[in-house]
Structure 1
Amino acid sequence: MALKRLSDIYNTTGELFNELKNNELTEEMKNVLFNLIESYTAEASKVLKFDSQASAKIASRYADIRKANKKIHELKKC
């Protein structure tokens, strides 16, 4: 799994490099690529048992999303 995620990071970074080099990097694509790199880094860190800031940031973001979804679900019941 770690090798797969490292390969994903490598490929995504290559895509980012090429789009930037060719002056084709849009804001939307920049966000997509950096979010993918962040996610892949967090997953690789977890598999390799390395406590990274990316992992903590993503875990916090998911916790916030779950909390918001729970609140929405509760409000819909009322």
Structure 2
Amino acid sequence: MHYRRIYPSADLRNLVCFFWEFEGMYTGGESYQHGLTASINPKLAFQYSGLMHIEQDNVRLPLFKSGFQCQTRAHL
């Protein structure tokens, strides 16, 4: 697993806190659980391989390939 935080140039600092990338090598049979914490900051999220899923009510659903994540109030 690789996690890296990238800070924006001076021109973007008043709009963007940071960029981050998360990368891991997982096979189709492996499972990785990524927990999210509550955040007041909105996020733009992109996944380039399109293989991530979310499990909700014991149903596995594909995770969006790109999108906007809003503010959250709870740990997921």
What TM bracket, shorter-length normalisation?
under 0.3
Structure possessing the higher radius of gyration over alpha carbons: 1
Higher strand share: 2
The normalised TM-score by structure 1 is 0.25
Higher helix share: 1
